[in-house]
Amino acid sequence: MVQIMERYIHELSDWPRFRWDHEVLAKPLAAVRHNQGRLIGRMEGLGFQLRDEAVLQSLTEEVLKSSEIEGEKLDREQVRSSIARRLGMDIGALAPTDRNVEGVVEMMLDATQNYRAPVTDERLFGWHAALFPTGRSGMTRITVGAWRTGESGPMQVVSGPIGREHVHFEAPAADRVPAEMRTFLAWFNTTDSIDPVVFAAVAHLWLVTIHPFEDGNGRIARAIADMALARSEGTPRRFYSMSSQIQVDRKAYYETLERTQKGDLDISGWIAWFLECLDRAFRSAETILASVLRKARFWDAHAGEALNDRQRLVINRLLNGFEGKLTSSKYAALAKCSQDTAARDIEDLSRKGMLARDPTGGRSTSYSLIASAADALEVVARWTLAHADKAAWDGSEGPSLEERRVRTERIQAIGRELQQLARDSNAPPTYEDFETRLRALHKLGLFPEERLVSAVTQAVQRIASS
């Protein structure tokens, strides 16, 4: 008799008795736990307001990226406003939010803020209903707030065009789901002897393998993992985004899941990948911290400036990660004002060294935020590179082609030096660094706009006086 090998992990006779190699995972687990504690300690050491801003940014990224993994792009300001409103944070004017945004935020906050509460069928059904407020996934009506049924056939993860589909995974039959979820929830709600971070990795894999819902399983599995990580840290405050890192490593995420779900019950490979991804998420949290500090320093530097509500709103949007270039029409749309009012506001912000016009002009005129000396230098560098062939010449006779080429190359080299100064994270630029390159540009007949030069001067002076 030929024995047919079982195809998926949930079809194995000893499912779900997972196992892993403790010795192989001991070192990476120790490193992750160390970095986790270090990050939490640093963030908790921030002032109350900065800590809240870090939490808000981290949760915003988590909601956005968990949805992006599934191909759904949410509006950043809507997500941010919804989280701030639910957590009672004052961030000024709140953007109106769609029902689907509110649902995703509601699920994520319930998972992370109420992490100690047991997970029940009804709680998961509530999460699922929040994800699909219209009862549809796209154009398709689905079963919402309940386990999936067998009416729509096998639950498969499929890619490829119609007629040439590739089945990556097939979940347990629908009639198995209630019993499978009873087993999972009994385990999840019981204090386990395994490390809490490993627990999060196992929970993620286990739930996404059961695939208990018609849609939304990935987002709910990531929320379950976030809940387990909150338990491991003993705090509802989130200072990093696991989903952001999974989105970056999306291909490896799906490949590792598929390989594990088609393997045996030794899930060491999955746990190792989860730990590596989590460790990268901790390191990426430095970006969130830098953004929070950058925002705080900006407003500290401009504490004495008289700004209207429109200007504050737009500047905060830029500081929060505005996508694309700021133009007068985008300013008008954000601030809900006329084009003329937007132009006056931008002109005022430019005079105050908060905005700088980008090198391109005309109808495509755009503006960059000057939140640091590096920002100001970057704008001057871009202006220099864009105008490298427009240097002034002395004398009545024009330059030869060779002379023009040599001078253009020398100006471009200075422009690249300015960019390097702006992007050097090891040391902030000094005015002496800038003045040396500025004098060299003047000798070559190129004179950057006075407003740009003034923006660099003001930004560097703020560093020197801080």
Per the structure, the count of domains in the chain is: 2
Give percent of the chain with pLDDT exceeding 90: 55
Within a domain: residue 409? yes
For residue 3, the model assigns a pLDDT of: 39
CA 371, CA 303: separation in Å to the nearest integer?
A: 13
Residues 289 and 318 in one domain: no
Instruction: Give residue 2's pLDDT band: very low, low, confident or very high (50, 70, 90).
Output: very low
For residue 426, the model assigns a pLDDT of: 72
**CATH code of the domain in which 241 resides:** 1.10.3290.10
Residues 90 and 13 in one domain: yes
pLDDT in tens, 378-398: 888 988 998 888 877 765 567
Q: Minimal CA–CA distance to 447: which of 414, 416, 399, 403? A: 414
For residue 1, the model assigns a pLDDT of: 34
Q: Which residue has the tokens 């945004």?
A: 101
For residue 320, the model assigns a pLDDT of: 82
Task: Copy the structure tokens of residue 111.
Answer: 């998972």
For residue 121, the model assigns a pLDDT of: 96
3 state SS for 4-49: CCCCCHHHCCCCCCCECCHHHHHHHHHHHHHHHHHHHHHHHCCCHH
Within a domain: residue 4? no
Instruction: Give residue 431's pLDDT band: very low, low, confident or very high (50, 70, 90).
Output: confident
Average confidence (pLDDT) over 166-185: 93
**CATH code of the domain in which 439 resides:** 1.10.10.10
For residue 8, the model assigns a pLDDT of: 94
3 state SS for the chain: CCCCCCCCHHHCCCCCCCECCHHHHHHHHHHHHHHHHHHHHHHHCCCHHHHHHHHHHHHHHHHHHHHHHCCCCCCHHHHHHHHHHHHCCCCCCCCCCCHHHHHHHHHHHHHHHCCCCCCCHHHHHHHHHHHCCCCEECCEECCCCCCCCCCCCCCEEEECCCCCCEEEEECCCHHHHHHHHHHHHHHHCCCCCCCHHHHHHHHHHHHHHHCCCCCCHHHHHHHHHHHHHHHHHCCCCCCCCHHHHHHHCHHHHHHHHHHHHCCCCECHHHHHHHHHHHHHHHHHHHHHHHHHHHHHHHHHHCCCCCCCHHHHHHHHHHHCCCCCCECHHHHHHHHCCCHHHHHHHHHHHHHCCCEEECCCCHHHCCEEECCCHHHHHHHHHHHHHHCCCCCCCCCCCCCCHHHHHHHHHHHHHHHHHHHHHHHCCCCCCCHHHHHHHHHHHHHCCCCCCHHHHHHHHHHHHHHHHC
Residues 277 and 136 in one domain: yes
Within a domain: residue 59? yes
Give percent of the chain with pLDDT exceeding 70: 95
Within a domain: residue 139? yes
Within a domain: residue 300? no
Residues 263 and 331 in one domain: no
Model-level pTM? 0.76
pLDDT in tens, 104-143: 999 999 999 999 999 999 999 999 999 999 998 888 889 9
Within a domain: residue 223? yes
Task: Copy the structure tokens of residue 296.
Answer: 């705080």
CB 238 within 8 A of CB 226: yes
Last residue of a domain, one of 243, 266, 295: 295
What sign for the dihedral angle of Cα 235, 237, 242, 243?
positive
Residues 185 and 332 in one domain: no
Last residue of a domain, one of 270, 295, 320: 295
Q: If you count them, how many residues does the chain have?
A: 466
Residues 151 and 260 in one domain: yes
For residue 287, the model assigns a pLDDT of: 83
pLDDT in tens, 52-73: 989 999 999 999 999 999 889 9
CB-based burial label for 410 (10 Å; 0-12, 13-18, 19+): middle
For residue 4, the model assigns a pLDDT of: 38
**Highest averaged pLDDT of the listed ranges 52-61, 187-196, 260-269, 417-426:** 260-269
Instruction: Give residue 362's pLDDT band: very low, low, confident or very high (50, 70, 90).
Output: low
Residues 103 and 237 in one domain: yes
Helices 373-386 and 431-443, axial angle in degrees (round to 10): 10
Instruction: Give residue 90's pLDDT band: very low, low, confident or very high (50, 70, 90).
Output: confident
pLDDT in tens, 404-415: 899 999 999 999
* Residue 6: pLDDT over 50: no
Within a domain: residue 1? no
What does DSSP say about strands 136-137 and 140-141: parallel, antiparallel, or unpaired? antiparallel
pLDDT in tens, 327-336: 999 999 999 9
Residues 256 and 405 in one domain: no
Task: Copy the structure tokens of residue 408.
Answer: 């253009």
Within a domain: residue 236? yes
What is the rounded end-to-end Cα distance, in angstroms, of the chain? Answer: 80
* Residue 461: pLDDT over 80: no
Lowest mean pLDDT among 27-31, 189-193, 228-232: 189-193
For residue 77, the model assigns a pLDDT of: 87
* Residue 13: pLDDT over 80: yes
Task: Copy the structure tokens of residue 301.
Answer: 């530097």
Residues 382 and 242 in one domain: no
* Residue 100: pLDDT over 80: yes
Domain extent, residue 99, equals 9-295
Mean pLDDT for the chain? 88
CA 319, CA 294: separation in Å to the nearest integer?
A: 8
Average confidence (pLDDT) over 47-53: 85
Lowest mean pLDDT among 279-283, 390-394, 395-399, 437-441: 395-399
Average confidence (pLDDT) over 362-385: 84
Residues 372 and 223 in one domain: no
Question: What phi, psi does 85 have (nearest 5°)?
Answer: -65, -45
Last residue of a domain, one of 295, 328, 362: 295
Average confidence (pLDDT) over 249-259: 94
Q: Which one has a higher pLDDT value, 464 or 187?
A: 187
For residue 394, the model assigns a pLDDT of: 67
Residues 262 and 143 in one domain: yes
Q: Minimal CA–CA distance to 302: which of 356, 366, 372? A: 372
Residues 276 and 325 in one domain: no
